[in-house]
Amino acid sequence: MPDIKIKAKDGGTFTAYQAGSGGPGIVLIQEIFGVNKVMRDLADGYAKQGYTVLCPDLFWRIEPGIQITDKTKAEWDKAFSLFKNFDQEKGIADLVATLDHLRKSAPKVGCVGYCLGGRMAFMMAERSDIDCAVSYYGVGLDGLLGDAGKIKKPVMLHIAEKDQFVPPEAQKKVRDGLSGNKHVTMHFYPGQDHAFARVGGEHYNKQAADEANKRTADFFKKNLA
C-alpha cells in the first residue's frame, strides 16, 4: 500500500507506511535506518497476521524519507548522525499522532519497535495509552526506569544477552528495575547480539528471531484480539 500522511501535533505532516486494513492496529517503530525495506517487510508480515500497521517516518524533521541499510560504513555513519539529531520528545508526539490515527478505525492498538524503536516502544508504554507494547533490543532502557511505574498495560521486552549497545550492567538494571512490575514480561536471549532479529543483518540468528517473533505474535493475539 502507498504511504499515507498524518498531521503532526505541532504542525506539518509526516508520512507512514501502511500495511493491511480492517484489523487491530500496530504502530511499528523504525530502527535508525528509517522506514526502509526491513521495516516495510516487517509491516507486511504483521499485516498478514491480520493487523492494520502504520510505520511512521520519525526522522522527517531532519530529513524525510530516509531509507538506508546496515551494509556500509557510510550508511552507519548517516544512521548515527540521524539518531544524534533526533528529538525523542517530538518522536513520541508523532507516535501518539500515529496511534490516534489508527484508533479512528481500530478499537485496540499496540506498538512494536526495534533498536531505537525498541526504546520508543518502551517510552510509549510509559507515556501513552497504547494497549500493549513490544520492544526488541531497545537501547538505553536503564535510563527510563524512573517512569516505569506509569506502565499500566502489557509490555514485552526482547533483550539480547550480548548486545554491544546495552552492556551487562545496564541489562541488570533493567532486570532488577522491572522484575516486580506485573505488566512487564522480559525475555533474554543467551549469546545473541543487537539486532538478532533483523533479517539479513550481521547478527541475525534465525532460531532466536523465530522464538522472539512467535512470542510477539502470541502476545499481540492475546492483547489486541
**CA nearest neighbour of 161 among 213, 215, 113, 205:** 205
Say how far apart CA 155 and CA 167 lie, in whole Å: 21
Query: Would you list the DSSP string of 133-167?
Result: EEEES-SSGGGGGGGGGG--S-EEEEEETT-TTS-
Residue positions annotated with a catalytic role: 163, 194
Place of cell 491480520: 50
For 143, phi and psi rounded to 5 degrees? -90, 0
Name the strand (E) or helix (H) holding 4. Answer: strand 3-7
According to DSSP, the β-strands at 132-136 and 109-114 are parallel
